[in-house]
């Protein structure tokens, strides 16, 4: 960090103090949670299972995955579910900082454990009408800054079919709802590609995106998500 940037940060911290979302102690403007509370969060152990498809309980919970690797930060339960909901539906930008801290930490952990790494990163797109209605893609908003050192492609995957909201559907209807929802016109022959979403509930969205990318020639597709929905949610 340059001296000018450090000075600017100090000024912002002085006039516009930020506080940890958990314990409310003062934190720097670019973070949302203090290091003590970050350490206490119940994150998924990616040191032990850098590919969560090899963790027995998760493999049993999601038996029909079309993608090859699964990386997630935490279960979709408090406090993560509240933070994601506030960001997604109320555009509460403050929660973006804490989620980015978590994502950055988990990405660093899994990258250090993997012998290969995706060549391209693709954020799951919204349908054009939904994007216009909401005004932003919360996944891109959260993950974008965490992927500064990666090759992120924003136009490789298109959601050309307008689908119903997944949250209101059963597992079978989610799969049918997303059939042929995505298309990729790029040549991905032999590439390892990552797709990114915020919450994985049944895996239907990620599976549909994976099918489109493998049709385009992708050798492997990895799924990165902020949270996994536990059984019963």
Domains annotated for the chain, with CATH where assigned, are 1-40 (no CATH), 41-228 (3.40.50)
C-alpha span between 26 and 20 (Å, rounded): 6
3-state secondary structure of 24: coil
pLDDT digit string (tens) for the chain, length 233 residues: 556 555 555 555 555 678 999 999 998 878 899 999 999 999 999 999 999 999 999 999 999 999 999 999 999 999 999 999 888 877 677 789 999 999 999 999 999 999 999 999 999 998 777 777 777 788 998 999 999 999 999 899 998 766 555 455 555 555 556 767 899 999 999 999 999 999 999 999 999 999 999 999 999 999 999 999 997 65
- Return the pLDDT at 165: 56
- Return the pLDDT at 113: 95
Distance of CA 232 to the CA centre of its chain: 21
For the record, the structure tokens of 58 come out as 């998760």
- Return the pLDDT at 93: 76
- Neighbour tally for 56: CB within 10 Å: 8
* Opening angle at CA 123, ends 119 and 129, nearest 5: 150
Provide the whole-model pTM: 0.86
- Return the pLDDT at 142: 93
Per the CB < 8 A criterion, the answer to whether 80 and 226 are in contact is yes
C-alpha span between 81 and 143 (Å, rounded): 16
- Return the pLDDT at 159: 86
C-alpha span between 29 and 202 (Å, rounded): 35
- Return the pLDDT at 89: 76
Q: Which long-range contacts (CB under 8 A, 24 or more apart) does 3-8 make?
A: none
DSSP states of 178-227 as a string?
TTT-EE--S--TT-EEEEEEEEESSSHHHHHHHHHHHHTT-SEEEEEEEE
């Amino acid at each position: 960090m340059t001296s000018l940037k450090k000075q600017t940060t100090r000024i912002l911290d002085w006039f516009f103090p930020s506080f940890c979302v958990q314990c409310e102690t003062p934190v720097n403007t670019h973070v949302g949670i203090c290091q003590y509370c970050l350490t206490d969060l119940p994150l998924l152990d990616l040191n032990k299972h850098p590919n969560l498809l090899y963790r027995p309980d998760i493999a049993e919970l999601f038996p029909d995955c079309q993608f090859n690797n699964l990386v997630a930060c935490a279960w979709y339960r408090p406090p993560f579910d509240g933070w994601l909901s506030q960001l997604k539906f109320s555009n509460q930008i403050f929660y973006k900082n804490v989620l980015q801290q978590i994502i950055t930490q988990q990405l660093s952990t899994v990258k250090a454990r993997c012998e290969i790494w995706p060549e391209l990163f693709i954020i799951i797109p919204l349908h054009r009408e939904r994007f216009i209605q909401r005004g932003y893609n919360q996944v891109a908003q959260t993950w974008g800054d965490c992927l500064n050192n990666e090759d992120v492609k924003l136009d490789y995957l298109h959601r050309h079919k307008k689908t119903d909201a997944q949250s209101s559907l059963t597992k079978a209807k989610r799969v049918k709802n997303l059939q042929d929802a995505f298309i990729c016109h790029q040549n991905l022959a032999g590439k390892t590609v990552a797709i990114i979403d915020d919450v994985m509930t049944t895996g239907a969205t990620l599976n549909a995106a994976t099918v489109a990318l493998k049709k385009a020639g992708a050798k492997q597709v990895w799924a990165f998500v902020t949270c996994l929905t536990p059984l019963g949610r």
